[in-house]
């Protein structure tokens, strides 16, 4: 070992959560070491949120050009230069990368070590030629694509979210295994960019979301030409004659082979715990990740885990939320606990699908069916949606005891932006009457939230006591 470091905090992993902890600690003058074996910025910047949304934007541009005739705009001969799409995706990554770079964090006062990290005991970490003995450690190593045990999968070339953005030519026929958010987002984007696409899902598309709304997303994706096979089991993957791949599928229609040029596996993710020496550190862990309490502390009280590696929702914003909890605990010794009820999520298909808080079933299980109400407004009732011809979808509000907003679903245009308002409302403990009484600029898509909230009181004018009161007050002029 060439050096020994004794910082106040050592962060393992330079993704969203790890970078947030390191930057905040350094801002307060705390000595912090950041260890990262791969690319700075983690999965989100390099293989996840950023490149996928850039690709989706390219697909949306092509789709809008082809479908603009209802506005009186006729784009002739729309073509896609996939090499340029690839360049666009990587230009977006490059534009954001300096913010997450080792050079920037070194300038903030963080000691950045590019090496593999491994615990050798409960309070000592080795990274390359450096031994780190910190007061507290934060594990933020994220997750990686999980490849299912499908016979033949290891014998054929396949793509994951870590490799699909390297393609410089549009796939002739992209086969996607998995119809979760990643699978559907990339399937729709590639279809809009010119690929033939088949999605194979063992259960139903977006199985974790409201079934009725998820079915609307699936119907739209099918309408755009994606072949979406639900309730379909993959029995085997094999190389096709000449080139490409074949997938043996079994569903209600029987068993058959589906042939394609490229295969994308989007069947979930696994926490990155391998090689960290967690047993030596006394940190409990399993297939679902590192075991933590509501305060994100592990069995070893010196060590915290945040983001994907801690299990639960695997989103960049969740890692950032975890980082805030840990910073309050590490720097200010304040009690802080995560609250999963306030965490939003968005699937960036078109239409987008956003959710925050409890589902109706979850709310009824917690409060009782008689104490939960659901109100909704379709996007077709929204004037801005009509003007832009984006009327598919609705806003649903889940209302708990005493009129408190406990959950919400938004299916439709800009759902990810609209969910911001609902996420704030739920995290602040607002009631539906608060959403009914705020002033929304007209015309805006977010106005649908206010309309949905007002609909909760649609029956009030029929209350006989209130009607008598109004008649009584009218006597006074």
Q: Which residues fall in the annotated binding site for NAD(+)?
A: 178-185, 201, 268
Q: Residue ranges for the binding site for FAD?
A: 53, 141-143, 308
For the chain, the three-class secondary structure string (H helix, E strand, C coil) is CCEEECCCEEEECCCHHHHHHHHHHHHCCCCEEEECCCCCCHHHHHCCHHHHHHHHHHHHHHHHHHCCHHHCCCCCCCCCCHHHHHHHHHHHHHHHHHHHCHHHHHHCCCEEECCCEEEEECCEEEECCEEECCCEEEECCCEEECCCCCCCHHHCCCECCCCHHHCCCCCCEEEEECCCHHHHHHHHHHHHCCCEEEEEECCCCCCCCCHHHHHHHHHHHHHCCCEEEECCEEEEEEECCCCCEEEEEEECCEEEEEEECEEEECCCEEECCCCCCHHHHCCCEECCEECCCCCCECCCCCEEECHHHHCCCCCHHHHHHHHHHHHHHHHHCCCCCCCHHHCEEEECCCCEEEEEECCHHHHHHHHCHHHCEEEEEEHHHCHHHHHCCCCCCEEEEEECHHHEEEEEEEEECCHHHHHHHHHHHHHCCCEHHHHHHCCCCCCCCCHHHHHHHHHCCCCHHHCHHHHHHHHHHHCCC
Q: Residue ranges for the binding site?
A: 53, 141-143, 178-185, 201, 268, 308
């Amino acid at each position: 070992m060439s050096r020994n470091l004794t910082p106040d905090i050592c962060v393992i992993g330079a993704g969203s959560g790890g970078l947030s902890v390191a930057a905040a600690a350094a801002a307060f003058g705390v000595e912090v070491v950041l260890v990262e074996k791969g690319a700075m910025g983690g999965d989100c910047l390099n293989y996840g949120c950023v490149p996928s949304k850039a690709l989706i934007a390219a697909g949306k541009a092509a789709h809008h050009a082809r479908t603009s005739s209802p506005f009186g705009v006729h784009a002739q001969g729309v073509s896609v230069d996939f090499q340029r799409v690839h360049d666009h995706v990587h230009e977006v990554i490059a534009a954001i990368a300096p913010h997450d770079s080792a050079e920037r964090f070194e300038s903030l006062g963080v000691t950045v070590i590019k090496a593999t990290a491994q615990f050798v005991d409960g309070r000592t970490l080795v990274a390359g030629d450096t031994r780190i003995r910190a007061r507290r450690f934060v594990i933020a190593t994220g997750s990686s694509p999980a490849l299912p045990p499908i016979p033949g999968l290891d014998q054929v070339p396949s793509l994951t979210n870590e490799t699909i953005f390297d393609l410089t030519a549009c796939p002739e026929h992209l086969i996607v295994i998995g119809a979760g958010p990643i699978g559907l987002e990339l399937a729709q984007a590639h279809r809009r960019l010119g690929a033939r696409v088949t999605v194979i899902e063992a259960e139903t598309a977006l199985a974790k979301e409201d079934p009725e709304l998820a079915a609307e997303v699936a119907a739209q994706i099918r309408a755009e030409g994606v072949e979406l096979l639900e309730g379909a089991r993959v029995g085997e993957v094999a190389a096709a004659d000449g080139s490409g791949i074949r997938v043996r599928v079994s569903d209600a229609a029987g068993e058959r082979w589906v042939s394609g040029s490229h295969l994308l596996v989007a069947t979930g993710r696994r926490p990155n715990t391998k090689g960290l020496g967690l047993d030596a550190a006394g940190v409990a862990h399993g297939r679902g990740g590192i075991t933590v309490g509501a305060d994100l502390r592990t069995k070893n009280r010196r060590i915290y885990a945040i983001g994907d590696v801690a299990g639960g929702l695997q989103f960049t914003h969740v890692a950032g939320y975890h980082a805030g909890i840990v910073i309050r605990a590490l720097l200010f010794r304040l009690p802080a606990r995560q609250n999963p009820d306030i965490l939003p999520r968005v699937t960036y298909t078109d239409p987008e699908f956003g959710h925050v808080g409890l589902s109706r079933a979850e709310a009824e299980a917690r409060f009782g069916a008689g104490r939960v109400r659901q109100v909704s407004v379709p996007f077709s009732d929204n004037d801005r949606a009509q003007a832009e011809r984006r009327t598919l979808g609705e806003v649903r509000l889940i209302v708990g005891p005493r009129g408190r907003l406990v959950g919400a679903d938004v299916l439709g245009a800009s759902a990810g932006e609209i969910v911001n308002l609902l996420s704030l409302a739920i995290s602040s403990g607002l009631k539906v009457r608060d959403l009914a009484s705020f002033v929304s600029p007209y015309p805006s898509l977010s106005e649908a939230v206010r309309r949905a909230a007002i609909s909760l009181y649609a029956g009030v004018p029929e209350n006989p006591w209130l009607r008598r009161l109004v008649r009584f007050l009218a006597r006074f002029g």
